[in-house]
Amino acid sequence: MTFVTLTRFFQNYAVLIMIIVLMIVLSLMSDSFLTIRNLLNILNQNAPLAIMASAMTFVIIAGGFDLSVGAIFAMGSVCSAWLALNVDPYFGLMMAPVVGLCLGMLNGLAITLLHVHSFLATIATSLIFKGVAVVISDGRLIPVRMAEFTWLGRGSFGGVFIAVWVMIAFALILTFVLTRTTYGRKVLSVGGNEEASILSGIRTNRIKISTFALAGLAAGLASSISVSRISMGQASAGAGMELQAIAAVILGGTSIYGGSGAIWRSVAGVLLLALINNGFNILNADPFYRDLTTGLIILAAIGISAAGKRR
Amino acid sequence: MNTNATTVPAIRAKGIGVAFGGISVLRDVTLDIMPGEIHGLIGENGAGKSTLGKVLGGYYSASAGTLEVFGTRAHPWNPPAALARGVAIMHQELQLVPDLTVAQNVFLGIEEHRFGVLKTTEAARLDALMASSGFQLQPNAVVSTLPIADQQKIEILRALARHAKVIVMDEPTSSLSKGEITQLHEAMKALRDEGRTVIYVSHFLDDIMETTDRVTVLRDGALVATKITAQETKSSLVSAMLGDGKTETPFPQKKIPANRTAALQVTGIASRNGANGATLHVNKGEIVGLIGLVGSGRSEIARAIIGADPATSGEVVLEGAAYGKASVAKSNDLGMVMVPEDRRKQGLVMTIPVCANMTLPHLSQFSLAGIIRSGLERLRAGKLIDHFSVRPADLDGNILNYSGGNQQKVLISKWLMEDPRVILLDEPSRGVDVGARETIHNAIAELAEKGAAVLLISSEIEEVLGLAHRAYLVDRGRIVEEIDPATSDVAEVLAALFRHQGTGKLEEAS
């Protein structure tokens, strides 16, 4: 293996290498890290974020950005809790993804009809969504203490939390869609060269709208898991998750300029962020340094992968 | 003008060569440009006149040869270095900041300041500059509100503010009206009379005849001759531009189409982007050329036909069936496709592999319920790679690293995968090597033989004459003449283009 292929390998798999290094370090420093219980807990806690990051990958590959998924998460949380109380708990859980899908589609329509950058459009819509969530919940918490509602977030199947199964299934389906379907191919080409895609007969606006709809659906799904787990709907849920999801996608090595990327990368990005957090917890390290460390690791990871792309 | 042997030339080029991606666009150009002259650079499309202008102006650096500026070697040679030596270039696309004022643009980067705080001397400096140059502009006018001619004056003032002694102007008149062109020519003469040098790159022969002292003719990237303009005529310059007989690989034999049924009929198509009422038709099995100078609206006509630009008026009839609001997707479904001129910007998706690029417009053919049938896709793409001998012949190859010729082969084969009924080819062999060019020419002939209607756009007149059964001349977005390639030669076509260009300009000036 020559030096060039070796550095290329490091750049491609920077996030996996960092995960492995971190896992080795943490298992040497603490006996409680490398236990099935701890690892499953990490996965379970981060299942909602991983679901959102997987869908965000589609948005970013198609050349967009979605800063409203945190607000959609809040809408999902409030709507499902309200519906669970007032209509039916199963119906409430089911409707969160549907609400998310509709809001995501609104994002896509706003971006393509108004010809504005997705960054700006989703800042605006996130305020709107958040505002509506506050109005629906009347600014209060909506507690839902029923087993028919909490099974999704707290239950487990075959010794593993249901949320983790949902996350795995969602990531696998999206991987299949991105790599094996005509839709996935179109998403890649719209992000890679929009003009060429239009001239190849692809209706690029539809593709863009659909990626935002997907991100909305994922935020709704994530919120239904989360609201079921804490058995409480609230308009402040999901705050900051949009930035975490984007950070995870970029950390994984998906190009911020669109046109290339992979779902596993984003899931790995979420896990890397989660491991840092977990490390601080089990080592009883000073939590004041947590953000600082996370920031430095993100900077290192994107620096490594950007180094090879400069021409 | 001053061609006195004792004067040091403003710029002396010795054996200048330029190559882009292994393709040589300028070879062994040796040329002296004297202080106090207006020096024209002319040549056919692609002869290298613009490239030479950019090398002299410091925008490109030469890959071979040396440049001397006022007697000393110019090395390194780039825009800042050129400016420091008194050489400025005015691009075809003006490089102004639209939201700043005239004064701010003129002194951009050379503002007078004390510890970063701007001094209030700008107005006085600009007044002095305008007084000495004779250009009058409102110092506080915002650039985006000014006509192009005034914006060009700002570019000139900007060059003068940096004490430029040589100004390269690359096609400065292409977007000007007749009156504005006269103004610009006056300005150029004023600069010359002050002892400055103007290098004037243009494909408008009248303009060159009117203003320049000497003119250098380029052909196929080589210098043909440098002449004193007063001793030349328009036709002597045209024949110098063309030369006698080019080395060209033989074109494939033209097969006469069996039956003359129209595949594509276009009536009065116009778009905001530059098509201006073009009417044309292409029969089955026929190759029809569109010939025009750069900026004549050739590509824009094709874009309007296929629906890439919305047509504001006009009708497109495909095999007898009219269809209304065209879109590229709809055209493709009906079997009409376009190979765009810029393969990197409009043609290929650089982030996906070769195979995926080839099948991109035909995904529905390779899928079942939206899932790509990878085996079938690779089989069909592999056949095309063999047929066009794309190198490297790798389905998963990274298209970014392919040579221009092989990228172009991928781009064209992408559109031939599903046997189109009508194909619009825009510059199919631009910037490719001889081998790829021949492959592409044969593919075009073969396509017509199979019954497709081909509309061929090329800035190389020879290519169109060699391949097409009929050809249209285009000027300002409409068809001005139809010619028979079998009985026309390049000189006649070029002469005709310049003739129509003249009439077009008069109309616009009114």
What is the residue-wise DSSP string for B193-212? HTT-EEEEE-S-HHHHHHH-
Give CA–CA dist B373/A225, Å, rounded.
35
Give chain B's length: 510
Pairwise CB contact (< 8 Å): A203 & B329: yes
Q: At what angle do helices B374-387 and B404-416 cross, to 10 degrees?
A: 120
Inter-CA distances, A276 with A29, A281, B168, B298, Å: 13, 9, 58, 59
Judged by a CB distance cut-off of 8 A, whether residue B356 touches chain A is: yes
Domains of chain A in start order, with CATH, are: 16-303 (1.10.3470)
Whether residue B372 and residue A180 make contact (CB cut-off 8 A), yes or no, is yes
Residue with tokens 């679901």: A51
Nearest-CA distance B448 → chain A (Å): 21
Q: Residue B335, by phi and psi: left (phi above 0), alpha (psi -120 to 50) or beta? A: left
Residues of B in contact with A197 (CB under 8 A): 349, 360
The residue among B194, B221, B242 that closes a domain is B242
Over residues A240-255, the pLDDT tens digits come to 999 999 999 999 989 8
Q: Which H, E and C letters describe B216-235, residue by residue? A: EEEECCEEEEEEEHHHCCHH
**Same domain flag for B152 and B199:** yes
Q: Given this model, what pLDDT does residue A308 score?
A: 57
Distance from CA of A183 to the nearest CA of B (A): 7
**What is the token pair recorded at B130?**
């305008």
How many Å lie between the alpha carbon of B293 and the closest alpha carbon of chain A? 24
Cβ contacts (< 8 Å) between A189 and chain B: which residues? 349, 352, 356, 360
Q: Do B349 and A192 touch (CB under 8 A)?
A: yes
Same domain, B370 and B222: no
| Amino acid (1-letter code) at residue B343 | R
B209 touches chain A (CB under 8 A): no
DSSP codes, B425-445: EESTTTT--HHHHHHHHHHHH
Same domain as B124, residue B88: yes
Specify the 3-state DSSP secondary structure of B455: strand
Of B242, B272, B302, the last residue of a domain is B242
Residue B319 within any structural domain of the chain: yes
A196 touches chain B (CB under 8 A): yes
ipTM, 2 decimals? Answer: 0.87
Whether B352 has its CB under 8 Å from any CB of chain A: the answer is yes
Instruction: Tell me the nearest-neighbour CA distance from A194 into chain B, angstroms.
Output: 8
The predicted pLDDT at position A311 comes to: 37
**Are B371 and B496 found together in one domain?**
no
Q: What is the pLDDT of residues B434-480, one digit of tens each?
A: 778 888 999 999 999 999 999 999 988 889 999 999 999 998 899 99
B151 and B81 in a common domain: yes
Residue with tokens 């430095």: A296
Chain A residues closer than 8 Å to B329 by CB: 201-203
B30 and B141 co-located in one domain: yes
- One domain for residues B465 and B378: no
**DSSP state letters, A70-120:** HHHHHHHHHHHHHHHHHT-HHHHHHHHHHHHHHHHHHHHHHHHHHT--HHH
Nearest chain B Cα distance for residue A180, angstroms: 6
Q: Which two tokens mark B92?
A: 């075809």
- Tell me how close the Cα of B143 comes to any Cα of chain A, in angstroms: 25
Per-residue pLDDT of chain B (510 residues; tens, 9 = 90+): 444 456 889 999 999 998 876 677 889 999 999 999 999 999 877 788 888 999 998 888 888 899 999 988 988 888 888 988 999 998 877 788 989 999 889 988 888 888 888 877 888 888 888 887 777 888 889 988 888 778 888 888 888 888 889 999 988 877 677 777 888 898 889 889 989 999 999 878 888 999 999 999 998 889 999 999 999 888 888 888 877 654 456 788 888 877 788 899 999 999 998 899 999 999 999 999 999 887 788 999 999 999 999 999 999 999 888 877 788 999 998 999 999 988 888 999 999 999 999 999 999 888 999 999 999 999 999 999 999 988 888 999 999 888 788 899 999 999 998 889 999 999 998 877 777 888 899 999 999 999 999 999 998 888 999 999 999 999 889 999 999 998 988 888 988 888 887 554 434 333
Q: Is A207 near chain B, with CB under 8 Å?
A: no
Query: Residue B449 to residues B443, B445, B454, B494: CA-CA distances in angstroms?
Result: 10, 6, 10, 29
Closest residue of B to A255, CA-based?
A: B351
Whether B1 is in a domain gets the answer no
- B472 with B370, same domain: the answer is no
Residues B68 and B162 in one domain: yes
- Let me know if residue B343 belongs to a domain: no
Q: Is residue B292 one of the residues assigned to a domain?
A: yes
CB A218 within 8 A of CB A107: no
Whether B368 has its CB under 8 Å from any CB of chain A: the answer is no
CATH of the domain at B302: 3.40.50.300
Q: Is B331 on the interface with A (CB under 8 A)?
A: yes
Query: Looking at the structure, do residues B383 and B253 belong to the same domain, yes or no?
Result: no
Beta bridge partners of B483: B471
The structure's pTM equals 0.79
Residue B445 placed within a domain: yes
Residues B191 and B330 in one domain: no
Tokens of A301: 């990871």
Q: Are A192 and B328 within 8 A, CB to CB? A: no
Contact B327, B303 (CB under 8 A): no
- Strand pairing of B11-20 and B23-33? antiparallel
Residue B6, in any domain of the structure: no
Domain extent at residue B191: 11-242
The alpha carbon of residue A181 is apart from the nearest alpha carbon of chain B, in Å, by 4
- Length of chain A (residues): 311
Helix (H, G, I), strand (E, B) or coil at A168: helix
Per the domain annotation, does B283 fall within a domain?
yes
Cis omega (within 30 of 0) for bond into B392: yes
Do B314 and B446 fall into the same domain? yes
Please tell me the distance in Å from B282's CA to the nearest CA on chain A: 21
User: Touching check for B367 and chain A: CB below 8 Å?
Assistant: yes
Q: What is the pLDDT of residue A259?
A: 92
Interface of A with B in 164-193 (CB under 8 A): 180-183, 185-186, 188-189, 191-193
Tell me if B26 sits within 8 A of B17, measured CB to CB: yes
B364 interfacial to chain A (CB closer than 8 Å): yes
Give A192 to chain B, closest Cα distance, Å.
Answer: 5
Q: Do B351 and A193 touch (CB under 8 A)?
A: yes
Say whether A193 and B332 touch across the interface (CB within 8 A). Answer: no
Domain boundary among B417, B439, B464: B417
Domain count, chain B: 3
Residue holding tokens 């270039």?
Answer: B89
**Of the partner residues B345, B350, B372, the one whose CB lies closest to the CB of residue A182:** B372
Nearest CB among B356, B360, B372 relative to A181 is that of B372
Question: Among partner residues B346, B363, B367, which is closest to A195 by beta-carbon distance?
Answer: B346
Amino acid of residue B271:
S
Rounded Cα distance between A265 and A269, Å, is: 6
Give the chain A residue whose CA is nearest to the CA of B356: A185
Cβ–Cβ of B328/A260 closer than 8 Å?
no
Determine phi and psi for A124, rounding to 5 degrees.
-65, -50
Mean pLDDT by 10 residues, chain A (311 residues): 71 86 92 91 96 98 96 97 95 96 97 94 96 94 92 92 96 96 96 94 95 98 96 93 94 89 96 92 85 85 67 37
List the single best residue of B303, B360, B373, B374 to mutate versus A (max A Cβ within 10 A): B360
Residue B4 lies in a domain: no
In 3-state terms, what secondary structure has residue A233? strand
B113: Cβ contacts below 8 Å, ≥ 6 apart: B119
β-sheet bridge partners, residue B280: B266
- CB A188 to CB B340 under 8 A? no
CB-nearest to B346 from A188, A199, A259 is: A199
Nearest to A209 by CA among A67, A65, A88, A111: A111
Predicted confidence at residue B502, as pLDDT, reads 59
